[in-house]
Chains A and B, each alone.
Chain A
Amino acid sequence: MPNYVGYRYWRVTEDHLGIHLHSMFFSQEWRPDEILRATHFGAQDEWHPAHPAPQYDCECGIYAFRTAEGGMAGKYGNHSVITRRRDKTTGIVLGAVLTGGRVVFHGDQGIRVAQAQPLAFALPDDEDPDPLVTQVARLFHVAVVRYRYLESYVREFGERIRVVA
């Protein structure tokens, strides 16, 4: 049974302590050289008992797309894999993760997993590299690769997940 590779976007913030990588829609921080482990932190009552994450009939787990395109790239422009706010201190980066533990196939394009660790971060294909991506990659001790090479590069670390037609 292989470990799968998935693709995600992260929020990058920068403060006096340095660069921080966060989940897109939660405050969860991803730390260098650490495996992120999912926990169910939603409502817990008699109808929603605590359980290991991810569980198929919940929405918990670490989310990732099955492909780099993932259905989300269009929202940030055509393969424009990094954007910044006007204050220049916050950006969005695309990258790949190696996943482990339980994997729930979520919808047509996604997965929810128990464990994940960044494998690489992507640079736009035809734009000058944004130093923020390189800084993030250095912080996490992983590679930066052009978007068009991302999937082929991470294939050496894990299996591609099947995509529902």
Chain B
Amino acid sequence: MRRAKGGFSKEADGEEETPELVPISVPEKEPELVPA
């Protein structure tokens, strides 16, 4: 289902409850170290 232009529809747009974020530690990597 698509929403009408300019309008909102809970069914069409959808929403989800996802887990609360907790601060994460992201490794710092140089671009060359990231695999394809």
Task: Tell me the smallest distance from the CB of A164 to a CB of chain B, in Å.
Answer: 8
Q: Which of A13-21, A65-73, A77-85, A103-111 is found at the contact surface with chain B?
A: A103-111
State whether B21 touches A3 (Cβ < 8 A): yes
A116 to chain B minimum Cβ distance, whole angstroms, is 8
Give min CB distance, B36 to chain A, whole Å. Answer: 6
Q: List the A side residues contacting B17 at CB < 8 Å.
A: 1, 101-103
| Cα of A3 to Cα of B24 in the assembled complex, Å | 12
Question: Are B26 and A115 in contact, CB atoms less than 8 angstroms apart?
Answer: no
- Chain B: number of interface residues, binned into ranges: 20 to 34
Interface residues on A, range: 35 or more
Known contacts: A1-B18, A56-B8, A149-B31. The answer to whether A117 contacts B23 by CB under 8 A is yes
Contact assessment for B19 and A3 in the assembled complex, using a CB-CB cutoff below 8 Å: yes
Interface centre among A98, A104, A119, A157 (most CB of B within 10 A): A104
CB proximity of A39 to chain B, nearest CB, Å: 15
Give 20 new A-B contacts, CB below 8 A, not counting A57-B8, A145-B31.
Answer: A2-B18, A3-B19, A34-B23, A56-B9, A56-B10, A100-B20, A100-B21, A101-B18, A102-B16, A102-B18, A103-B15, A103-B16, A115-B21, A119-B26, A142-B28, A144-B29, A144-B30, A145-B29, A146-B31, A152-B36
